[in-house]
Chains A and B, each alone.
Chain A
């Protein structure tokens, strides 16, 4: 079903023990005097689901956007499957990296189908109706959505189309910048589950930026906590819940935990 790309993903899986799909080598980004990301070094293994968590201005979005060069590093390197991202032809790189962001950015003058088919179209490939229907089905949208215009959709439907568009090129990695930030909680929860499911089903490598620690804990299998441009914690969700990761990480974990406890308390006291 997923044509030709199945193999490299599988081989990426094989590499995951030793190699990394993404490698940050002392990656830095400065804006004048302001340091957005200050020397991050880490590997992201193929097939992993990584959440980048932190408060506003912690540098998590900047770090993420270095992967598809929407932000270029001012120091250090970012390697994608072993190649420096700044040396890979930009258009080619971005077709291998599915990108989903809070703004969604569906092109208002194209139908849903045309939006989804945009990536392949740029590569000179025409997506058939069947493939569009298949991609819509992946994100649980009816195939008759294909002919709608973006402004006829709800916010949740739009972001589903955004995810389908990011998957249309059979990307090796899906990077998501606060993908569910603007959605209502129910939609947000459902779409989060869906993305996790697609991650497993399609054998994707996924990096998601979020400020919501609960979302990160529930969806990811590795959580990176950023603060002031540095990665201050790199733990599994289980370890974080067990108290690892240090002060910043624990203060973020404390928020959903306390909420859950208070809710549980209220339930207990309900006659």
Chain B
């Protein structure tokens, strides 16, 4: 318990960022929903369309809605210019505001519809204009119901805002996602407790405002609003003292290795006197654009990922040629500088349990082709959509029985328990050696190489001191040491360590 408490104490800046994001989204939601509700109360058609749209938005999973704003904003750059941020605060704000729309809109429309018609007749009878009726009668009488909608929206938004971690907006989702990747449950619980606590506090304060409005107790709603304002003010103040221009932001994707390497790079930079901030748990597709737009400064990416995802290439020119081509392509197309390769590959490969492989007589992908229709293949959430999978399928004529998605950490458990016969493993994964899994060879070289590279954003790629601080990492990490570091984070016994500790040990072993 004390461990969770310690973690929570360290969440101050995430907490502040979370409050500012959620409050902004709710604020924007209110700004849009209230005029719409007024319009809707005067036109049944508008009511149908707006409520229909808001309900439709609600059916989109929050995670998907957040992710969708990345391509939307990317395409809007054609209109607003290249400075339009596609990651971080803006897409999170827009998605969450859209999400907050429904409860506010629905409550406001319902409140208007349920106003006593005799009051409206009296309002007309005393000679109120439409605007006076809205201001003097409809708004004050609807206020408690609208407030109830805002309250619901706030609780939802605070919860959903944890997902904004995946599009690079820091918040209370950071410890949750980091904890899920490394199976560090204390982190997950701390993040959840902080987020739930925040939601409860907001609910209590807004509930006070709602009751104050309903009972016409000015002090009560004023006190509730004051509480909200103080919380928001404190969050804004805390955030104001956050990152400055010189901070180097290091991104990591949603798996342990990337997290460890981000910490390794971060500690090198801190030793060289830089201040460093981390954006953990970014979606794989998002990281490259984030670096290209200097939303983040450094990431570790892999040659095969860039080759297929960014350059849309399906050929396989071999390890060296691929790297050289990528360096040139990035320089010419995105402005990203590539510092160098770290020395190991984290390639996709197919792994099976040793006993199962022996039983089936499989040592290469070719051996698996005739029996594949009876087998279940497991992959990480993106694998079966990736060109690598298609390349393997085409190269070997592979037809598999069933495919299932697992988060990377759970994938190995699925293989161990027999839920999957083969999984898309990563060659640098520590669990491969420990659990005596075997890797199926790829004689037709369908799978591209995946050399780990350090990517530098256009903003910092010419920073000589930074390059000097990071150059000792180039070519310095053999795959065995990376596997060991990965396993030390992924393992589930008492020897499990945090990515920070794993990075420290790795630094020692490679002589830094």
Looking at the assembled complex, report how far the CB atom of A110 sits from the nearest CB atom of chain B, in whole angstroms.
8
Contact in complex: B126, A122 (CB < 8 Å): yes
CB of B141 within 8 Å of the partner chain: yes
CB of B436 within 8 Å of the partner chain: no
Interface size classification for chain B: 10 to 19
Contact in complex: A105, B122 (CB < 8 Å): yes
CB of B386 within 8 Å of the partner chain: no
Q: From A92, A101, A104, A122, name the one whose CB has the most chain B CB atoms within 10 angstroms.
A: A122
Chain A residues, Cβ within 8 Å of B121: 70, 101, 103, 105
Chain A residues, Cβ within 8 Å of B74: none
Q: Which residue of B lies closest to A100 (CB)?
A: B125
CB of A246 within 8 Å of the partner chain: no
CB of A95 within 8 Å of the partner chain: yes
Contact in complex: A91, B127 (CB < 8 Å): yes
Chain B residues, Cβ within 8 Å of A123: 127
Chain A contacts with B in 43-101, Cβ cutoff 8 A? 68, 70, 90-95, 99, 101
User: For the complex, what is the distance from the CA of A169 to the CA of B119, rounded to whole Å?
Assistant: 19
CB of B114 within 8 Å of the partner chain: no
CB of A119 within 8 Å of the partner chain: yes
Q: Would A91 and B119 be within 8 Å (CB), given that A108-B141, A109-B140, A109-B216 are in contact?
A: no
CB of B201 within 8 Å of the partner chain: no
CB of B310 within 8 Å of the partner chain: no
Looking at the assembled complex, report how far the CB atom of A185 sits from the nearest CB atom of chain B, in whole angstroms.
22
Contact in complex: A118, B126 (CB < 8 Å): yes
User: For the complex, what is the distance from the CA of A105 to the CA of B122, rounded to whole Å?
Assistant: 5
Contact in complex: A107, B127 (CB < 8 Å): no
Contact in complex: A122, B132 (CB < 8 Å): yes
Chain B residues, Cβ within 8 Å of A122: 126-129, 132
Looking at the assembled complex, report how far the CB atom of A182 sits from the nearest CB atom of chain B, in whole angstroms.
11
Interface size classification for chain A: 20 to 34
Looking at the assembled complex, report how far the CB atom of B388 sits from the nearest CB atom of chain A, in whole angstroms.
65
Q: Which residue of A lies closest to B125 (CB)?
A: A99
CB of B243 within 8 Å of the partner chain: no
User: For the complex, what is the distance from the CA of A118 to the CA of B123, rounded to whole Å?
Assistant: 9
CB of A225 within 8 Å of the partner chain: no
Contact with A along B199-237 (1 / 0, CB 8 A): 000000000000000001000000000000000000000
CB of B402 within 8 Å of the partner chain: no
User: For the complex, what is the distance from the CA of A95 to the CA of B128, rounded to whole Å?
Assistant: 9
Q: Which residue of A lies closest to B216 (CB)?
A: A109
Q: Which residue of B lies closest to A121 (CB)?
A: B136
Chain A residues, Cβ within 8 Å of B140: 109
CB of A106 within 8 Å of the partner chain: yes
Contact in complex: A106, B122 (CB < 8 Å): yes
CB of A23 within 8 Å of the partner chain: no
Chain A residues, Cβ within 8 Å of B132: 122
Chain B residues, Cβ within 8 Å of A13: none
Contact in complex: A94, B125 (CB < 8 Å): yes
Q: Would A70 and B118 be within 8 Å (CB), given that A108-B141, A109-B140 are in contact?
A: no
CB of A165 within 8 Å of the partner chain: yes
Contact with B along A132-172 (1 / 0, CB 8 A): 00000000000000000000000000000000010001000
Q: Which residue of B lies closest to A109 (CB)?
A: B140
Looking at the assembled complex, report how far the CB atom of A261 sits from the nearest CB atom of chain B, in whole angstroms.
38
- 25 CB < 8 A contacts A-B: A70-B121, A70-B124, A70-B125, A90-B129, A91-B127, A93-B127, A94-B124, A94-B125, A95-B126, A95-B127, A99-B122, A101-B118, A105-B118, A105-B121, A105-B123, A105-B125, A107-B122, A107-B136, A107-B137, A108-B141, A109-B140, A122-B126, A122-B127, A122-B129, A165-B126
Interchain residue pairs A-B with the least CB separation, the first 9: A105-B122, A103-B118, A94-B127, A99-B125, A91-B127, A105-B118, A95-B127, A119-B126, A109-B140
Apart from the given pairs A107-B123, A108-B119, A119-B126, 15 other A-B contacts in the complex at a CB distance below 8 Å: A70-B124, A70-B125, A92-B127, A95-B126, A99-B125, A101-B118, A101-B125, A103-B118, A103-B122, A105-B122, A107-B119, A107-B122, A107-B136, A118-B126, A122-B132
